[in-house]
Amino acid sequence: MSITELPVSSSTPPPARPPTRGTLYALAMRLHFYAGVFVAPFILIAAITGALYSIAPTVESIVDRNLLHVDSTGPARPLSDQVAAATAIEPNLVLAAVDPAPKPGDTTEVLFADSSLGESEHRAVFVNPVTARPVGASVVYGSTNSLPLRSWLDQLHRDLHLGQTGRLYSELAASWLWLIALAGVAVWGKRVLDRRDGVATRRLLWPDRSRTGRGRTLSWHAAVGMWILLPLLFLSATGMTWSTYAGAHVDTLRRQLDWQAPAVGTTLPGSRAPHGDSQMMPGMDMPMPGSDSMRQYRMPADRVTQVDKVFAAARGHGVDGPVEITVPATDDTAFVVKERRIPGSPTQDSIAIDGRTGNVTDVLRYSSWPFMAKLANWGIALHMGMLFGLPNQLLLLVTMIALITVIVRGYLMWWKRGPVRASRFAFGTPPLRGMLRRLPPVVLVPSIAAAALIGWFAPLLGVTLVCFLAIDIMIGLAQSRRGRPA
């Protein structure tokens, strides 16, 4: 009897299950593969637009120098004179806030509420503090008073100028970035450590230039990814705070844990507390642009003259550096002087002052903020390139350029796997499938629970993860019908 004729015992043991470590590696590889192919285009767009926005503050200071800077030297005129000159330019608009010139050679920004503008936008008149003469006017946006160029780049990065629909792209990129990065670390770390060649650490962090072809591309792809891992995790986490769906969960979490930034009290002693008029601008105590209250409202004449007293009182109580003075709409509300969020300004002290008497009614020091509120504030400023000024912006720019090279090399490796064969599209050769069902329950159940929790917190990640699973199943069925291994 030949060997081929020997009967096969029915008691032949099934193939041993792969160890859990190898199974998790295969899952991480498969996740990294699918997310890299389908989500990387969104991350690439976010990286390109983020690179442009990272240097926007510096570019703005050059492009809009005629508005932000003057050549006049000498003592500054009283702040009330500067404000009066700006209100003469915009007599039909409501004075909202004043940003005194931060240093010699800078202009004073006088902000007005304009019903024709969008949310978070103001009309700004820029005044020469030495001559008290306006040098120009423009629309500014947000808490940093960004001018049109920086605002345009901000919206490009945020939503590609497509509105709420466009914000889904940035949320998808931010939601997946951390997971793709960590899956890549797991894959590369195991591959390098399994080589046991005595130079694992160097191979982990430094590309192997002795390799050629796809191996060399892989080495550079992984090593550069390791270099920028921490910045990518940070940008992913902070980016989700601005998103629509995951951002809503972040806001809820911050409210429940009292991680929100506190605000200085603005109600003057002996005055009735505000009743939350729905037509009042949040934080500015004046009518919302476009409301009936706005059309009927006129700033009291003495409010402008009180600015000098308020500014001096704030300086006398240690609120130094660049500040914004919020002008109240009613007599029972205090002026608020708060340190501005500008490059190189990490703190935001604020003080409330009675404009009629110059008395301080409330002080809120940044040092008294809850730690998590400080951390969130620093994270936002760092993400925007505002925390450390130019070094912060250069760090973001280098990180984005490195991320672009990582993505391009990833697609180059995928292309070398042969996605196009015989003039037809073939998805490529994905890593091994079937690993999920081979996990022991002690690992499988917590993994599914963690995926469900993450999918709930970041819905776009959860929905696309389900889509990847469906695609993987369909590809497996198609390959099985053709007799090809899945």
97 band by pLDDT with thresholds 50, 70 and 90:
very high
- Tokens representing residue 284 in the block: 């500015």
Q: Which range has the worst mean pLDDT, 51-55, 241-245, 389-393, 468-472?
A: 468-472
CA dist 343 and 382 (Å) reads 9
Q: Is the pLDDT of residue 385 over 80?
A: yes
Q: Which of 337, 364, 390 is the last residue of a domain?
A: 390
Instruction: Specify the pLDDT at position 433.
Output: 59
- Whether residue 345 lies inside any domain: the answer is yes
Q: Write the CA distances from 324 to 124, 166, 284, 395, 400, integer angstroms.
A: 13, 32, 11, 28, 32
Phi, psi of 69 (to 5 degrees): -135, 150
- Taking only the tens place, the pLDDT of each residue in 230-259 is 999 999 999 999 999 999 999 999 999 888
Instruction: Specify the pLDDT at position 481.
Output: 75
- Whether residue 3 lies inside any domain: the answer is no
Find the helix or strand (DSSP H, E) in which 128 lies.
Answer: strand 121-128
CA dist 61 and 54 (Å) reads 13
Kindly state the average pLDDT of the residues 380-385: 92
- Percentage above 90 pLDDT, the chain: 61
- Whether residue 361 lies inside any domain: the answer is yes
Instruction: Specify the pLDDT at position 294.
Output: 45
278 band by pLDDT with thresholds 50, 70 and 90:
very low
The chain-wide mean pLDDT, for the chain, equals 85
Instruction: Specify the pLDDT at position 269.
Output: 85
Q: Which range has the worst mean pLDDT, 80-89, 242-251, 299-308, 455-464?
A: 299-308
- Whether residue 237 lies inside any domain: the answer is no
CA dist 53 and 50 (Å) reads 5
Kindly state the average pLDDT of the residues 462-466: 92
Domain count, the chain: 2
Q: What is the DSSP track for 53-98?
A: HHTHHHHHHHHTHHHHB----SPPPPHHHHHHHHHHHSTTSEEEEE
- For 325, the domain range is 262-390
- Whether residue 318 lies inside any domain: the answer is yes
Kindly state the average pLDDT of the residues 440-446: 80
Q: Which range has the worst mean pLDDT, 98-112, 197-211, 285-299, 322-336?
A: 285-299
Kindly state the average pLDDT of the residues 326-340: 93
**C-beta contacts of 128-132 below 8 A and 24+ residues apart:** 128/70, 128/72, 129/70, 129/72, 129/76, 129/77, 129/82, 129/100, 129/101, 130/70, 130/72, 130/73, 130/74, 130/75, 130/76, 130/77, 131/72, 131/77, 132/77, 132/81, 132/82, 132/84, 132/85
Q: Is the pLDDT of residue 434 over 70?
A: no
Spell out the SS3 assignment of 144-176: CCECHHHHHHHHHHHHCCCHHHHHHHHHHHHHH
Kindly state the average pLDDT of the residues 385-411: 95
Q: Is the pLDDT of residue 204 over 90?
A: no
- Whether residue 37 lies inside any domain: the answer is no
Give me the helices (H) in 210-300, please. Answer: 213-227, 229-241, 245-256, 292-296
- Taking only the tens place, the pLDDT of each residue in 57-90 is 999 999 999 999 999 999 999 999 999 999 999 9
Q: Which of 155, 170, 186 is the last residue of a domain?
A: 155
- Whether residue 469 lies inside any domain: the answer is no
Q: Is the pLDDT of residue 293 over 50?
A: no
What one-character DSSP code corresponds to residue 141? Answer: E
Q: Is the pLDDT of residue 192 over 90?
A: no
Q: Which of 331, 356, 390 is the last residue of a domain?
A: 390
279 band by pLDDT with thresholds 50, 70 and 90:
very low
Find the helix or strand (DSSP H, E) in which 401 lies.
Answer: helix 390-416
Spell out the SS3 assignment of 368-388: HCCHHHHHHHHHHHHHCCCCC
Instruction: Specify the pLDDT at position 152.
Output: 97
- Whether residue 453 lies inside any domain: the answer is no
Kindly state the average pLDDT of the residues 127-138: 97
Instruction: Specify the pLDDT at position 423.
Output: 44
Asked if 325 contacts 362 with a C-beta cutoff of 8 angstroms, the reply is: no
Q: Is the pLDDT of residue 225 over 50?
A: yes
